[in-house]
Amino acid sequence: MTRSDRDQDTVENLMEIVESIYDQLDKSQIPRMTIPLRTKSNIIFDQRKNVWKYGRSTGARSAKKIRGAKMLLRTLHMIDFIQVMIASSRSSTLREMYYISEGWGNGKFHSQDESNNLAEDLEIVSKCMREDFRLRPEEDGARVIGDLTLIETDRKGKRKTFNCRDDVGDSGYGIPYNVESDKLELKTTGSKFVIAIETGGMFDRLAENGFDEDYNATLVHLKGQPARSTRRFIKRLSDELSLPVVVFTDADPWSFRIFSSVAYGAIKTAHISEYLATPTAEFIGITASDIHNYDLPTDKLTDVDIRALRSQLKDPRFNEPFWRGEIDMMLKEGKKAEQQALAKYGLDFVTDTYLPEKLAQHGIIR
């Protein structure tokens, strides 16, 4: 789909929301906008698309109360602003969106969380993506190194072809906020798989050790909890280039959530899991079993860690024997570990021993 087609569909879908509110007012009804509840209890598994999505439980933004009336007013202001951006081929950051509301009188936001959440509500109701609204985060996605050739269209419409190993320097290719096909084309790759890495230090270690070349891998730095653009980029590598994806993280509940957001989708963005999640992604990060088997240096689980792990035992995305076993073991041992703990055995251990063993176990390499 071309940029103009996407723009037209976005405007039409947003106008349906406006027309619905207008029709309710015209019929002397109290206007409301219904959206799915974005809670863990309202997450269901879509077997057809193999991702976790919102279920049927819904809530409403209703003008019956002042809070709901203000939210509907903000909704109309935001839709108007988005249409102006699309018409003028402009974009804004989410932070700018928050400050722009200062001119909306009683409709202004009191915090950026309010404006961010409304943008997500509009995604759900309009069935469009934030990138279609031309709203972008303050920072772009993470870095990529590997034998991957891309064609990127710049702001002047010029197409540039480059390779993420040969043409981007030591730091790698920086993933932009919009990685849809009209802006970024995945052309060719010599890679056999993608390894998504939690920390910058470990990403640099693998790059410095030449892991991408030795094992024909594309390295993606997740920068902790990955940005939407990073998850979408990984999803496209999996779908369009048929590359297996593995995720390499620390051993703690927050790192497990990082994996779940890549593979299963995040609760906050469950409405677009089919665009962001890579259900075939496999976990090769540090586990409680690895802590024991490799005798790794550890830190003690905090009370917050323990509560998070216990919560994950109730999370449907972790309702598998592997995850339940590893989480139970971690709670029993009371220990967590970082990727860098592998350096106990030297700087080359992770690329010469640990990752090859893990990748062979999963059938990624032989």
pLDDT digits (tens, 9 = 90+) for 169-185: 778 999 988 898 888 99
82 and 14 Cβ atoms separated by less than 8 Å: yes
Domains of the chain: residue spans and CATH: 3-136 (1.10.10.10), 143-361 (3.40.1360.10)
Given pLDDT bands bounded at 50, 70 and 90, which one contains residue 14? very high
Q: Is the pLDDT of residue 95 over 80?
A: yes
H or E stretch including 53? Answer: strand 51-54
Q: Is the pLDDT of residue 154 over 70?
A: yes
310 and 253 Cβ atoms separated by less than 8 Å: no
Active site residue 345: no
Calculate the CA 191 to chain-centre distance.
Answer: 22
Q: Is the pLDDT of residue 141 over 70?
A: no
User: Nearest to residue 203, comparing CAs of 355, 336, 360?
Assistant: 355
146 and 191 Cβ atoms separated by less than 8 Å: yes
Q: In terms of DSSP bridges, do strands 245-248 and 282-283 run parallel, antiparallel, or are they unpaired?
A: parallel
In this prediction, residue 131 carries a pLDDT of 87
Name the E strands within 143-250: 143-145, 148-153, 159-163, 173-174, 184-189, 193-197, 217-221, 245-248
Angle between the 3-26 and 112-126 helix axes, to the nearest 10 degrees? 100
- Find the catalytic residue in 54, 99, 215, 345: 99
In degrees, rounded to 5, the angle at the alpha carbon of residue 83 between the alpha carbons of residues 77 and 88 is: 130
> What are the tokens at 8?
């037209």
H or E stretch including 239? Answer: helix 228-241
